Structure 1
Amino acid sequence: MDKNTIVGFVLIVALLIGFTFLTRPNQEQQIAQKRYQDSIEALATKEAAKKAEAAAALENETEKQSADSTATFFQATKGNESFTTIENDLVKLTFSNKGGRVYSAMLKKYNGQDKKPLVLFDKDDVKMNFCFYNKKEVIETENYYFQTVNKTDTSLTMRLAANESSYIDFTYTIHKGNYMVDFTVKATGMADKLSPSVNYMDIVWNQKLRQAERAFKNENRYAYLMYKLDGAETEHLSEMKEDKSSVTGRLKWVGYKTQYFSSVFIADQNFEKSELKSKLETEGSGYLKDYASNMTTFFDSKGTQATKMHFYFGPNHYKTLKAFDAGKSDRDKLELDQLVPLGWSFLRWINKVFTINVFDWLTSLGLSMGMVLLFMTIIVKIVIFYFTYKSYMSSARMRVLKPQIDIISSKYPKKEDAMKKQQETMALYGKYGVSPMSGCLPMLLQMPIVIALFMFVPSAIELRQQSFLWADDLSTYDAFIQWNTHIPFIGNHISLFCLLMSLANILNTKFTMAQQDTGQQQMPGMKAMMYVMPVMFIFILNDYAAGLNYYYLVSTLISIFIMIGLKKFTDEEKLLAVLEANKKNPKKKAGLMGKLAQMQEEQERLYNERTKKAKRK
């Protein structure tokens, strides 16, 4: 670009800037322009409001015209909403005559964060609509007013009446000491008013799940829409994202669960053609998820057979839910206990057979939940002590051979001799009957119990709102430092039990690494990596239940004491003497250890052959 071109561009830019400045409206012109723009926007707002009012009026007029005197339940379109309550010792249910539905459910034995009896849902949190059919109309119960008949303290019949002899009854019954609500739908005198060819009714069930615990994130990870396929396993929608599913199979039940409580809808004749949806709610809204289920179930319009259904409004307590399957065949079992997340397959079996029974036994002694977790941790450590001891002794055997390993390391200081050093080290271990792998198997065998407890503790409703030491609720985090700003990966607080547990794990790592110092060269960075995980616990478990972090803290401290005790009571000179005796009288290894020894010998043989061939050349 030459000089003249550059000057030309500069002049053009200068002209544009000057023109913009000179043609800019003055202050009075700017005020007038703003007033004009505001008047345009106000006029547009008024026009939009008029159109909305006209549309609403047209919709109301259409509804009035459709609700004519020929409608099956015309008289039931008029009325005022009223409420009726039934209750037992555990639950209090309120029903609305508008739609004949459950309006609210309150659990008497559990409290919300306000220390008042816990309300699962209320008012607009829930929607229940049943659809019946004839040739000229769809009868949606949410649009009609029911009559309350046959009311007792624990039962209620709500009637949608066409006339005195033609009606549909919704009957709700609860029983003493039970969270289950029996629900039947039965038609009387409706054969000529409903379509005889339609043997089903459609159901729309929506519910917004209230946040019942302090920690939104922790509670939300256990909240999901769950359903039981007839003759198959339970499944659920994603708890981490919005999700939906079109289920073609027959369902025994659909459940809306949070961490500790559930609303479950059960059909004796099963649900079919189910459309299930889960929507996430934002933190601070007071809700976790918004669930919706559209499904179909059996209905006899002639009234010869009732539709039998049930609601469960109650806690996710394993034995409470398991009791509903007592005496039933495998085919008829509801498996509501699956609402309690105890882990998959073998882990769940450990929790059902061992963990829950030990926990319930300790609880029955009248101990505080903190002491229950303490004694439970001790019992678990006793159960897995054999594996801990075997793993420790494996490391101890290699540790007493460290002086000889150091001699081998000094013979092969170069990196290219790493294979020779490894082979000679393994040969040394073989002579003394020591296997580096023998310590791994005991550690692996105790892992299922450790992981099973990780699944159990956050699911134990008994920990809910139970205090211990500085933690006022073991089922949620125990913040001792809080701030207003949300920090990624850490949130807005530091949990004390989580911090102490992480520090204990750093100490345990130090002891473990000293215990496992056998003289063998470690991978670069391995030592630093061993300390990374305990630090990461602060970020991973900071939002988890205080009871879980407390359990891991106690478990880690006991592990440290066990390691110190084993080291103190292990005579390493006697252990070395035993190894020397093994060296003089070698025993043939069997099983896995024998196979590993054979592989090592074969590796050494091949290496020696290659070395000899290389020397010949």
Structure 2
Amino acid sequence: MEEKKFDANSIIGFLLLGAIMLWFMYTNQPEPEETPAQTTEAVKASEEAPISNTINSNAIASDSLAFAQAQQRLGNFAYSASLAVEENGTTVLENEVLKLTFANKGAQITEALVKNFETHNKLPLYLIKEANASFNISFGTTSNRIFNTKDLVFQPSLSKNGANDILSLKLKVSENEFLEYRYELKPNDPMVGFTVRSSGLSSVINSANPVTLDFNLTAFRHEKSIKYENQNTALYYEKEDGKMDDLSIAGEDLEEESNVDWFAFKQHFFSVILLSDTPFKTAKLSSETLFQDEATDSLQTKAFTVQAPLALNGGELNYNFNLYLGPNDYSALAAYDKGIENVIELGWGIFGWINQHAFIPLFNFLGGFMSNYGLIIILMTVVVRIFMSPLVYKSYLSSAKMKVLKPEMQEINDRLPGKENAMKRQQETMALQRKAGVSMMAGCIPALLQMPVFFALFRFFPSAIDLRQQGFLWADDLSSYDSIYKLPFNIPMYGDHISLFPILASVAIFFYMRMSQSQQMNMQQPAQEGMPDMQKMMKMMMYLSPIMMLVFFNSYGAGLSLYYFISNLLTITIMLVIKNFIIDEDKIHAQIQENKKRPEKKKSKFRARMDEAMKQAQEQQKTQKKK
């Protein structure tokens, strides 16, 4: 067997290979600070760095995209959107009589609470709530966009001006370029100062496009009788230097007027009124009745809308308004000296004058001494009837004179019968009355003089807010009907209830007319051939008048029915006193006989012309008869 020999070359090769491996490992070992843990952190850092850079880039890209979208949608007003104003945010201004909530979106009033008043069902009384009102200004821009302020978000800012609270809401193009709504609320005052102005927007607002104000409101029901409330709800406005006008209370109505100073969404006892220092050159005003009938439980009465163009001054908007949100109190509204007290319907002409200068001062004077408004109405009625009693006396005295003279007038009728003697009969009757000192007009004029008082009070009591929710006897609200029984059905024109004061007033007016019928028949000349039977006509009126009062006054305010009830009772009493204790028919007859003995006074020119005309008519009648 061959012995293996040790190979020195192989040993040297292995040693060289090992040395090379040791050298390679030595020269390629990690630096002392690069531990495995540190190497792992470095790897993580290198992985995270690209992620962070991606997030920042995405955020920048997102902001840029949002601003680009806002700019595309809002144009110049994109800056306002970048201010991060809360779109649904609100601000409250409040004083002793009013609480107003303003929305950032649209910079308009979203709630208007009238303090110290309640609805008929004892709920807080809101004039504006639940989006029943909208105030908007639409305008075009130089970038060919049309904007509506009700859709844009304004930046609110609160401040003080002495005791006044100020809310500024701005729609900004930049910090120094904006459209501003500025509201100022004084203590204990329902009149809000309201300014709309722009600054630096002359290059933004396109003057070629109309700038239009749109103000609309749907009136809520506040009173017990929605029918009666609806009858006293209308859109009023002042135009052309103080001329008042209003839209129809029935159905739909639309008018276009010039130079409108203010307009009022007037409800029965409360109003929203916008006044402008700069009259609206033109204005479209519309009204729509939402209430149908009492059988429908409606919560709304009418919908009002006003559209008016606004003028630019040097490319800018600058309008000073006042906004009234409160009760229709005549004295309080008149104190503003703006003419807005005319929204209270006191009657036209002499009727309104009597209310303004007689009944309102008298009512306020009596209210200073007592708090029960039922007693105030009664006392006021007593004062009015005492003041009118001389006219009642004059009328009754004239009636008594005609009663004494009636047999002699009948003798003339019997002596000159037939149509052919009508003129002569009339002449002799008038001559007899002149000699006796009796005149038909002496009885008519006192009655006519009482009519303005009648119609003035007919307008006064429904307009007196002091009567609202004031109780008396069984009536819980003198400004509304005094229901004593609720009917299970609705009677057309009458309603679904029975009111007691109209029944009492109807009974009183029946007896008054029954008493006055005999008085009027004394005033009437004896029936002549061819003439209508006045006695039948008066008897018909005696029954018709109480029925009409019973029907129409059933839904009217109890205060008005109470007045007529007391007034008729007092008139009946005054007539009985005059008849039984003041008038002496024997003395009147003796006086008439004395008057007849006196020489007749020289005829006046008017009477001479009348006699001549009657004489000519008589001659013509004879000529025609001969032919």
Q: Report the counterpart of residue 211 of structure 2 in structure 1.
A: 201
SS in 2 for 1:357: helix
Checking the alignment, whether the CA contact within 8 Å between 2:70 and 2:78 is kept in structure 1 is no
- The two structures have a TM-score, normalised by structure 1, of 0.81
Deviation at 1:503, TM superposition (A): 1.0
Task: Give the one of 524, 527, 536 matched to 2:548.
Answer: 536
User: Aligned runs of 1:238-249 on 2, under 5 Å?
Assistant: 238-247=248-257, 249=258
The 1:253–1:608 alpha-carbon spacing in structure 2 relative to 1, beyond 3 Å, is closer
The 1:606–1:336 alpha-carbon spacing in structure 2 relative to 1, beyond 3 Å, is closer
Deviation at 1:301, TM superposition (A): 7.1
The 1:483–1:301 alpha-carbon spacing in structure 2 relative to 1, beyond 3 Å, is farther
Q: Report the counterpart of residue 273 of structure 2 in structure 1.
A: 264
Q: Report the counterpart of residue 572 of structure 1 in structure 2.
A: 585
The 1:427–1:146 alpha-carbon spacing in structure 2 relative to 1, beyond 3 Å, is same
State the distance in 2 between where 1:367 and 1:544 align: 22
State the distance in 1 between where 2:154 and 2:208 align: 23
Checking the alignment, whether the CA contact within 8 Å between 2:420 and 2:621 is kept in structure 1 is no
Task: Give the one of 503, 508, 517 matched to 1:504.
Answer: 508
Q: Report the counterpart of residue 71 of structure 1 in structure 2.
A: 75
Task: Give the one of 581, 587, 603 matched to 2:614.
Answer: 603
State the distance in 2 between where 1:204 and 1:228 align: 18
State the distance in 2 between where 1:146 and 1:468 align: 50
Deviation at 1:614, TM superposition (A): 7.5
Residue identity matched to 1:318: Y
1:449 aligns with 2:453: yes
Checking the alignment, whether the CA contact within 8 Å between 1:433 and 1:587 is kept in structure 2 is no
SS in 1 for 2:560: helix
Q: Report the counterpart of residue 314 of structure 1 in structure 2.
A: 326
SS in 2 for 1:434: coil
1:124 aligns with 2:124: no
The 1:108–1:614 alpha-carbon spacing in structure 2 relative to 1, beyond 3 Å, is closer
The 1:146–1:516 alpha-carbon spacing in structure 2 relative to 1, beyond 3 Å, is same
Q: Report the counterpart of residue 46 of structure 1 in structure 2.
A: none
Q: Report the counterpart of residue 343 of structure 1 in structure 2.
A: 347
1:547 aligns with 2:563: no
Checking the alignment, whether the CA contact within 8 Å between 2:423 and 2:617 is kept in structure 1 is no
Residue identity matched to 1:285: S
Residue identity matched to 1:115: K
SS in 1 for 2:521: coil
Q: Report the counterpart of residue 486 of structure 1 in structure 2.
A: 490
Residue identity matched to 2:326: G
Q: Report the counterpart of residue 556 of structure 1 in structure 2.
A: 568
Q: Report the counterpart of residue 473 of structure 1 in structure 2.
A: 477
Residue identity matched to 2:146: V
Residue identity matched to 1:182: G
- The structure number with the bigger radius of gyration is 2
User: Which stretch shifts more, 558-567 or 103-112?
Assistant: 103-112
Task: Give the one of 139, 142, 145 matched to 1:135.
Answer: 142
1:526 aligns with 2:537: yes
Deviation at 1:274, TM superposition (A): 1.5
Deviation at 1:69, TM superposition (A): 5.9
Residue identity matched to 2:539: A
State the distance in 2 between where 1:82 and 1:578 align: 87
The size of the alignment, in residue pairs, is: 540
Task: Give the one of 148, 152, 172 matched to 1:144.
Answer: 152
1:95 aligns with 2:102: yes
Deviation at 1:66, TM superposition (A): 8.7
Checking the alignment, whether the CA contact within 8 Å between 1:466 and 1:474 is kept in structure 2 is yes
Deviation at 1:411, TM superposition (A): 5.6
SS in 2 for 1:470: coil
Q: Report the counterpart of residue 286 of structure 2 in structure 1.
A: 277
Deviation at 1:154, TM superposition (A): 2.6
Residue identity matched to 2:235: L
1:386 aligns with 2:377: no
Q: Report the counterpart of residue 438 of structure 2 in structure 1.
A: 434
Deviations 1:225-276 (A, max 9, x none): 11111414011111112011122x1211111001111101111122233121
Q: Report the counterpart of residue 221 of structure 1 in structure 2.
A: 231
User: Which stretch shifts more, 382-391 or 336-345?
Assistant: 382-391
Gaps of 5+ in 1: 1-63, 326-333
SS in 2 for 1:145: coil
Gaps of 5+ in 2: 1-67, 528-532
User: Which stretch shifts more, 139-148 or 159-168?
Assistant: 159-168
Taking only the aligned residue pairs, the percentage that are identical comes to 34
State the distance in 1 between where 2:118 and 2:272 align: 17
State the distance in 2 between where 1:99 and 1:495 align: 47
1:366 aligns with 2:370: yes
